[in-house]
Structure 1
Amino acid sequence: MSAIGTLNPGNSGLSSLIDISKTPTVDDSGITLPGAVTPDMVQGINVSLSGAGIEKAAAARGENSDIEESGLPENIQQVLKMIRKLRQQIAEKMAEMQAVMRDKRLSPEEIKAKLGALQAFINNLNGGLITANTALSKAMKQAGLTPEQILKAASLLMKS
């Protein structure tokens, strides 16, 4: 069983170092589209959020706002967010395991099967967490952070 959004050794979550100077360019100056829309023909779309939607968006932003406002490099911020997400998923799966163990409607075989599946999922998440922590350590070393930035990253890492 694999987990979505986990990191593995081939995907550290850090941006790759692709040399875009060798990327071929395309000359599209001679291409015209029939019936192309001109700027004066485009109509805008107005979107309004409900009060609940605004609160939900603010809450989602609030989860990682401390990381985003930390002043740390973007790649380190992304790894810190991934670590938080993995920890949250592990806590959720642990709560699911507790619920399965308390469910009196399940037979012992069903409990064993569900717990096994949840444990396998948690093992995948833990593997992703280990990889993310390794990627964070490597990124922090490569970024040449100041002692204050290292302390900030460590404090953000300790927060759930």
Structure 2
Amino acid sequence: MSSVGAITNGSNNLQSLQEPSTSQVDEQLRISPLVAEPVIGEGVKVSLSGAGLNKSAAAKGRDSDIEESGLPENIQQILKMIRKLQQQIAETLAQLQAVMADKHLSPEETKVRIGSLQSALAILNGGLLTANASLAKAMKEAGLSSEQVMKAASLIMKS
């Protein structure tokens, strides 16, 4: 049988593909590895925008009175958590008032949004109750002085 117009290596002007030997591949990987070696002493570099720096400074400044209170670290953390929960509750209440005042929403949409915000408020209030109970327990276990108890109470009231 003869084939008409068959392509052979000699007639297609294509170079034959030669697989590199495994020793050549090993040598190339040894010289130029696929995985970068970790550099000791280097850390992660993070750059914040101006707005991010301002927000970070504001958050740090907001809790600086707690950090400078001299209270034990675990009590400081609970106080910060309480303050954050209080802020989230205030924001959710503001959103709830905005939804109730928005006359552009349909009654169904208003009802759904109000229900969602009320659920969020219930969760936040539950978290606040838990945090307050944790604070009372931590203060009792730490044996705080009456001055320290008053300091913690004043920090809770300050938002």
Q: TM-score, normalised by structure 1?
A: 0.69
User: Distance in 1 between the 2:128 and 2:44 partners?
Assistant: 41
User: Is there any run of 5+ residues in structure 2 with no aligned partner, and where?
Assistant: 1-35
Give the equivalent residue in structure 2 for 1:141: 140
Give the equivalent residue in structure 2 for 1:86: 85
How far the C-alpha of 1:60 sits from its partner, in A, is 1.5
Give the equivalent residue in structure 2 for 1:153: 152
Give the equivalent residue in structure 1 for 2:99: 100
What percent of counterpart residues are identical?
A: 65
User: Distance in 2 between the 1:101 and 1:94 partners?
Assistant: 11
Alignment pair present for 1:64 and 2:71 = no
How far the C-alpha of 1:119 sits from its partner, in A, is 0.3
Query: Which has the higher relative contact order, 1 or 2, with Cα contacts under 8 A spaced 6 or more apart?
Result: 1
Show structure 1 runs of 4+ deviating over 4 A: 35-39, 42-51
Residues 156/117 of structure 1: CA separation in 2 closer, same or farther (3 Å cut)? same
Cα RMSD (Å): 2.3
User: Is there any run of 5+ residues in structure 1 with no aligned partner, and where?
Assistant: 1-34
Give the equivalent residue in structure 1 for 2:4: none
How far the C-alpha of 1:57 sits from its partner, in A, is 2.3
SS in 1 for 2:76: helix
How far the C-alpha of 1:54 sits from its partner, in A, is 3.3
Paired residues for 1:1-150 under 5 Å: 37=38, 39=40, 42=41, 49-150=48-149
Residues 44/130 of structure 1: CA separation in 2 closer, same or farther (3 Å cut)? closer
How far the C-alpha of 1:62 sits from its partner, in A, is 0.5
Which has the larger Rg?
A: 2
Aligned AA for 1:159?
Answer: K
